[in-house]
Amino acid sequence: MIKLIPAAEHHNANVGDWLQSHYLFSFADYYDPANVQFGPLRVFNHDRILGHNGFPLHPHAEMEVVSVVLDGELTHKDSLGNEVTLKAGDVQRMTSGTGFTHSENNDTDNETELLQLWFLPNKRGLAPSYEHMSLDFLDTKNKLVPLVTGQKVLENIPFINSNSTVYYGHVGQGEEIDFKTFKIRKTLVYVLSGSMLVNNVEAEKYDQVRLESKDVVSLHGNAEATFILVDVPAAEVNY
């Protein structure tokens, strides 16, 4: 199965005059029973936060929360005592587990652009924990770079309690990358810029392609393109 979801079909949410978001799955006031999750991937939001605005203190529980900063800065504070300013090229992982609170704010004059992905965990009742790394992935050329994973074959990146991996990718015009997978897994590709073919399906900026029962996901640059690839199990135990 391969399904193209054009950018025009995403739910666009404007919160006041300070936040613009694209929701790839049901979230907040948007609910579509046919679009709740993809394997354990429950939330995929593409956010833009204007300067001196952000999300006030709020709770999470039983979720793996991943933030990927594409541009600007984001200041994170939480009930575990962490206070960190994330910058472009940084990746943050939060295991909310039995529950914690945090806030996220853009304290600068400029817009912050980030992706936030939530995964249902493969273990419940975990102690809350936090991790972030500067991965400098934005200069990637013609390859996939893992950003966060729960697959132990990958190391030196933030670890989530889900048998899933998030990659940032770049493919040049006329270049091709093959991502090898298994028919028991699913793949989501979200185009950040440019134009590409995903298993011969054309995808433009902000389009997404969802694939199931594939051995290989072929990524071909129609024009220079950047994208996020999320590799998830078709069924995750214990979530």
What is 2-233's CATH superfamily?
Jelly Rolls (2.60.120.10)
Residue 237: its pLDDT value, please?
61
User: How far, CA to CA in Å, does 231 sit from each of 40, 78, 147, 189?
Assistant: 10, 28, 12, 9
Alpha-carbon distance 84 to 129, whole Å?
Answer: 14
Alpha-carbon distance 218 to 198, whole Å?
Answer: 6
Element (H or E) spanning 136, and its range? none
* pLDDT tens-place values along the chain, 239 residues long: 999 999 999 999 988 889 999 999 999 999 999 999 999 999 999 999 999 999 999 999 999 999 999 999 999 999 999 999 999 999 999 999 999 999 999 999 999 999 999 999 999 999 999 999 999 999 999 999 999 999 877 778 999 999 999 999 999 999 999 999 999 999 999 999 999 999 999 999 999 999 999 999 999 999 999 999 999 998 766 54
- CB-based contacts of 10: which residues, under 8 Å, 6+ apart? 22, 23, 24, 206, 208
Q: Point out which residues pair with 132 in neighbouring strands.
A: 92
Helix intervals (H) in the chain? none
Residue 122: its pLDDT value, please?
94
B/e letters for 158-167, b = 16+ CB within 10 Å, e = fewer, are bbbbbbbbbb
